Every structure is written in structure tokens, then in C-alpha cells.
Amino acid sequence: MKTIQAYRFALDLTPAQERAVLAHAGAARVAYNWSLARVKAVMDQRAAERTYGIPDGQLTPTVSWTLPGLRKAWNAAKDDVAPWWAECSKEAFNTGLDALARALKNWADSRSGKRTGRHVGFPRFKSRRRSTPCVRFTTGTIRVEAGRKHVVLPRLGRLKLHESSRKLARRLEAGTARIMSATLRRDGGRWHVAFTVEVERADRVPARPGSVVGVDVGIKHLAVLSTGELVDNPRHLNAAHQRMRRLGRALSRKTGPDRRTGQRPSKRWRRAANRLGRAHARVANLRRDGLHKLTTRLTQEHGTIVAEDLNVTGMLANRRLARHIADAGFAEFRRQLEYKTAWNGGQLLVADRWYPSSKTCSGCGTVKAKLALSERTYTCQACGLILDRDANAARNLAALAAEWHTAGSGPVAARGADQKTRSGGQVAKKREPGTAPAGQTGTVPPQGRTTFQACALKRSER
């Protein structure tokens, strides 16, 4: 199975090498800003001409937004715009032009409705101080040296790695990987190089192919599994919050930049900003490491994983829980599960956003009309089940896998598009007495629950 995978390594650059990399990143920013100014000037001119009543056929000619068109215009004007262009690799300018072409396409597709999701605004100019330095190389000499502690990039030469690149080097030596591009980026005061690699991965099978596990994510526990396992939420941001506040106050006391007066930041302000940036980067690294370990373990052990399609953007509107929700990384958890299940030969089933996993009784299938967020223990008035709220939701998610296989439908289980929960529940096809729900073991009494077939019927009737 061929996949596109990234390998990211930290770099140890000398001062001269760091200046060279910054020069390339600055060249990308210059090409981006010049091309954006050119596109914006033509758009403004055409808008002004329309107000004068000029026909569309006589308006100022449009400029191409594609990468080849932007590159052609840049090559014609680079001697006047950037006389120093020969000091940097052509890939630096191509990085900025490619970023602008993608941004303009996303904006146009968002306006026309071709792009789903959140609205994409018109591209803005990149600031030297606020933008993240980044440059990408797609051609030229890109290789990992035999010692596995150095990489070679065009015009930058031999760069020392902070860690060994043995994982990538072994694949390259075996001929099961091919480097497609290399991206340099400064993150948290440290430079990293990320290789985009086409990898030939061996077919894998989970340790328990027939195992089904429902995963309910939350704040108190990062994940509650239908097997009964509770994964604690480390809350890295909350642990570092006091230190970040102290570093933020120290930064505010320094002389920072002022765009209105043209004041440049002091050296102490720069050092304080770097300390705060490193603190944020450490929290992000800890969160990423924990999520990778958890998702890798789940995808390697279980053949089928059932998760929820959460409205994270809407959840962040709660000002009391927004910081804790963002610290948990729900979206990143779901993203990692998607590609790791494919790598390990499993499958990921996603429950519909409006499926009442928390309101449904995992014992009898009764659905509560209301369930306050403060109620952490689920109590069923019909069958008397008393269970932790998150554990109940995880069991309901695991049961959806069996219903999906029975219905033979797609991997999304739902109860319909309406957002109101009906009270009383809907009793569906019964399981055989003495059998356990999917993802559980043991003997349980006969139970019923809302099935995927009923949901599909509701949709067809609409």
C-alpha cells in the first residue's frame, strides 16, 4: 500500500545557516506579497471601472491565479522587484507563489460553494514579524546522508539534525520510500525539516481483528472506551498555565513593536517572546505525543473503532470550557484515527453528529429527552441502569458497529437530521438472550436499541 507520509526532524543550525534559511523564507514572503498586490490591484481596478459603466469586454485584463501564471509574471518582474533574487534558490520564490495560488483558489471555491466548511477569506499580506518562516524544496539535491545525522538541501548544503533520521534512512536504503519534498519551518524557536515521502507500507492486521471498541472523548477523561478503560486527560495546557501567565506578564513589560509609530522591539522583548513561544511549543509537543501514543495503541489492537462526529467549533463557543476542549485536541485525535486505521488494516466508523449516544440507555435503548451536562451518572428510569455517563456513551457507540454491519450501509450511523431528541426511545430488533453488545464480553439480559435501519428509513421517507 502506497501512502504519503511525513517525517519531521529538529535541526541544529549554525548562525550562518540560520541566516541563509531566513533569507529563503523572506524571499518566499516577498514573492507572495508582490503577487498578491498585483492581483489585488487588478481586481480593484476592474471593480472601479465597472462603477463607471464600462462594459466587461473593455475592462482591464485579468491576471492568472494559477501557479504557472504567477510564476511567469514573477520571472518577468523579478529583476526590478528583487535584484538579489540570484542569492536564493528558485524554490524559495516558488514557495510563496504556490501558497498564494492555493489561497486564491480556496477563496474562490469558498465563495462559489465548491469548498465546504468554514468560510475562507481573501488572502492577506504576510508580515515579517508575525508570519511563520517557512520554505519548501521540491527539486534539486534532497537527501539524507549515510551517517543519519545530516541532510542536504539545495543552496543550503549540509544541515545537522538534532536527532537521528534512522526511521527514514532505513526505508530509503530498502527502496520502500521516495522523498518528494522537504519543508523548513521555525516552530517554537527551533527549526524543523519535514520530508514528504511516498512510502510503500506493508499490509498489517490489528492484534484483534474482530474487536470493536467505542471511544467517547471528553475533558475529565481524554477517552472512555467501551471496554471499560479510562484514559486520563493530562491537561498539559492547564499544567503550564501559571508559567505562561508569568511569561506573558514579563513580555508585556518589555518594549515591543508598534506599527503606528514604527517602533522596533527591544532585544529583551525578543528574548521574552522566544521564551513564551518555547513554552507554547512544549505544550503542543506533549499533547501531540500523547495523542500519537493513544491512537497508535487503539488502531494496532482493535479492528473496528467507533467515534463521534463532534462539532468542535460549536463546543468552543462555551467560554467556560473552550480552553479545556482546545487542550484535549478532539479534532487531532479523530484525524490520527482516520489514517492510522487504514495503515493498520482496521476501519473507523463515525457516528452522526446528532446521534444521542449520551442520552440513550445502553441497556434497554430508552432515549432521554434531556440530559444536563452536569449529570455525570446516567440513570435509566425504564430498566434501572446506573452507569457513568461517558461509559454509557462508549457502549452505545460500540453497538453501532454491529447495527451498521447488519444494515449493510455506509460507515455513518445516525438517527436523522432533526436535532430534537424524542423521549421514550425506540425499540428495535432484539439481540438473542444471553449475548453481549459489540465490543463487550459477558452475559447480559435481552436488550433493544435504535437501529441503523430505522434511521435509513426515516431519511428515505423525507
Which residues are the active-site residues? 216, 308, 390
Nearest alpha carbon to residue 337 among 222, 230, 194: 222
Q: How far from 356 is each of 332, 380, 415, CA to CA, in Å? A: 23, 14, 8
Rounded (5°) CA angle 449-450-451: 110
Residue type, 159: L
Output phi, psi for 451, to 5 deg.
Answer: -100, 165
Which 3 state secondary structure label does DSSP give 227?
Answer: coil
How crowded is the C-beta side of 19, counted as CA atoms within 13 Å? 4
Output phi, psi for 423, to 5 deg.
Answer: -85, 160
Whole-angstrom Cα distance, residue 422 to residue 218? Answer: 24
Which 3 state secondary structure label does DSSP give 462?
Answer: coil
Longest dimension (CA), the chain: 82
Rg (CA), the chain: 27
